[in-house]
Structure 1
Amino acid sequence: MNQTDLLEEVLHLSRQAGEAIMPIYAKDFAVEYKADESPVTEADIAAHKVIVAGLNKLTPNTPILSEESAHIPWATRQMWDEYWLVDPIDGTKEFIKKNGEFTVNIALIRAGKPVLGVVHAPALNVSYLAAEAIGAFRECGEARIELKVTQKANTGRINVVGSRSHPSPDLAAYLEKFDDVEMVPKGSSLKLCLVAEGSADVYPRLGPTSEWDTGAGHAVAEIAGATVTQVDGSPMTYNQKDSYLNPYFIVSRLVD
């Protein structure tokens, strides 16, 4: 299957997951908590089942790592050159608050790098999709526009997107480098997508995230032309270590 067809199939699958999520979102639902105290709902599980079944049919020989089935030994994962990285609902806290800022994240990782990604926000009716050989796009309703990051000078007013649910004490120190900052609060992987579409200039994530939180948005932002790096400027990679935790990172369209 060529990359264009694969991207469209993954977009369709993300929407199917969204269709499984929204009836649960519309009602009262139970919230459980994992060992790390992160919340999980029946919608996370429903979306997980839809996505895993769809990916297994689409690419039966490609392994899948989902937040809801993450207990795969490093000894197994380190043999993977290519795999699907899935967060059935990124922004579960936003889902619980019912503010709409949650997403379905599906990324294809190859040799430690996201090469294809879809971020679908079912409550907002907006999707972001990207593949290396094709480009990055934002789709809202029937309208699809290509995303091409315009670089911006590191001066004047800087729009900084940050988390609604995970404020970081390190963020204030980072923001001191800018003369004029406008904060743009946003939940889930939509933060990476805002940089991709130019609604924000920089997203400094100076707090904990897991690889499934960022893989799809990373693909969208980087393929659109933004930089996605660790704080020291080195590449942000996936499945290169035992832990699923990401380093702190910066998503930016700023140039010095």
Structure 2
Amino acid sequence: MTAPHAPEPGASADPELGRALRSALDTCRRDITRFHAAPAPAREKASVHGGREVVTELDLTLQERLTAELSRTFPGVPVIAEEGLAAIPQLPDECLLVDPLDGTAPFLVGSSDYAIAVCLVRDGIPAEGVIDLPAHDLRISAAPGLLHVTGDVTQLPHHGSHTVLTSPSRTAAVQDRLSGTGWSVRPVTTASVKIAFVALGRAPAAVYLPRPGRGAAPWDYPAAALAVAAAGGSVHDTAGSDLARTRPARLDGWLALHRPPEADLSALLRSPAATHL
């Protein structure tokens, strides 16, 4: 299998959402730089999946900035943003999904595995998405058939042509399922970052294994799924639905593929007893 092909930066016109958020995202990057210089204490919040997770004033600042710009640019379109939600709401057919800081926990310990993710949903399905990777000075805008990348993709880590990215806590489980296939596993913490690496050709696959009591929220993945689809790949859930063409919802698991692989990696999403790669 050849190494994944990286898209040409800026190879297509920046979709409307990307153009609309350009200035706000630049300001968000400056907010992040200021936070690094003078970090504020984190606190715990209730997760929409149950349990607790961390949040900072930076999350809230970024969310307010993005929400204000989206409300101005897309008047009348509901903005559904992660912070402040106690549960995942019913999504209208047209809305804007915002994850102001996907990967707050790794961000706080100095990891580069964090992103800002925004998705415009029209007629119930993802229409345009933006993934900003401030630590890598990269920004991805995507729509069906359009992929616009700002920044130097070659500066990203290249994870190899037979590598599956997954969450650190699931690395052993994924490696066990890949035993004997010649594929290796590398940990990358954040959902949108893992999928973005696949879209940009820095890894051929990424997976989020189903896990009791955990899941992916509807703002975690659709923008990045659009980017993978625009690059010629796909992101599917456990039922085989294409997440770039499916109403965003809470997911138990997903698999992102840059190109059709040599092995049937879809088996990763099955129960261990039924897995035969």
For this structure pair, what is the TM-score category when the shorter chain's length is used for normalisation? Answer: 0.7 to 0.9
| Greater displacement, 47-56 / 28-37 | 28-37
Which residue number in structure 2 is paired with residue 187 of structure 1?
A: 189
Aligned mates of 1:214, 1:6 — CA distance in 2 = 16
Q: Give SS of 1:87's match.
A: strand
Q: Distance in 1 between matches of 2:136 and 2:161?
A: 27
- 1:63 aligned residue: 78
Unpaired runs of 5+ residues, structure 2, are 1-12, 155-159, 263-277
Query: In the alignment, which of 174, 177, 184 is matched to residue 174 of structure 1?
Result: 177
Identity %: 24
Q: Is it true that 1:83 corresponds to 2:92 in the alignment?
A: no
CA RMSD of aligned residues (A): 2.7
Are residues 1:101 and 2:113 paired? yes
Residue 251 of structure 2 corresponds to residue 238 of structure 1: no
Does residue 44 of structure 1 match 2:59? yes
Q: Which amino acid aligns with 2:93?
A: D
- Are the counterparts in 1 of residues 165 and 205 from structure 2 also a CA contact under 8 Å? yes
Residues 248, 86 of structure 1: CA spacing in aligned structure 2 closer, same or farther, 3 A cutoff? Answer: same
Indicate whether 1:199 and 2:206 are aligned: no
C-alpha displacement of 1:68: 0.9
Deviation at residue 232 of structure 1 after TM alignment: 3.7
TM-score by length of 1: 0.80
Question: How far off is 1:173 after superposition?
Answer: 4.4
| 1:114 partnered with 2:126 | yes
TM-score scaled to structure 2, two decimals?
Answer: 0.75
Contact 1:228–1:251 (8 Å) recurs in 2? yes
Distance 1:26 1:182, change over 3 A: farther
Task: Give the CA deviation at 1:120.
Answer: 0.7
SS at 2:68 equivalent = helix
Hey, what does 1:25 align to over in structure 2?
36
Structure with the bigger percentage of strand: 1
Distance in 1 of aligned mates of 2:208 and 2:236: 10
In the alignment of these two chains, the number of paired residues is: 233
- 1:149 match: none
Deviation at 1:73, TM superposition (A): 8.0
Q: Is the 8 A contact 1:163 1:185 kept in 2?
A: yes
Distance (whole Å) between structure 2 residues aligned to residue 73 and residue 174 of structure 1: 31
| Residue identity opposite 2:250 in structure 1 | L
| Alpha-carbon distance in 2 for matches of 1:72, 1:100 | 28
Cα-to-partner distance string for 1:98-151 (whole Å, 9 max, x where unaligned): 122211111112233222111112222111111225x113221xx689xxxxxx
CA distance in 2, matches of 1:73, 1:96: 25
Whether the 8 Å CA contact 2:94–2:123 is kept in 1: the answer is yes
Measure, in 2, the Cα distance between the counterparts of 1:235 and 1:124: 28
Task: Please state if 1:219 is matched with 2:226.
Answer: yes
Cα distance change of structure 1 residues 204 and 92 upon mapping to structure 2, 3 Å threshold: same
The letter for the 1-side match of 2:71 is N
Shift of 1:210: 1.3
Gaps of 5+ in 1: 146-155
| Partners of 2:251 and 2:55 in 1: CA distance | 20
Q: In the alignment, residue 132 of structure 1 is paired with which amino acid? A: P
Select 1:247's aligned residue among 246, 252, 259. Answer: 252
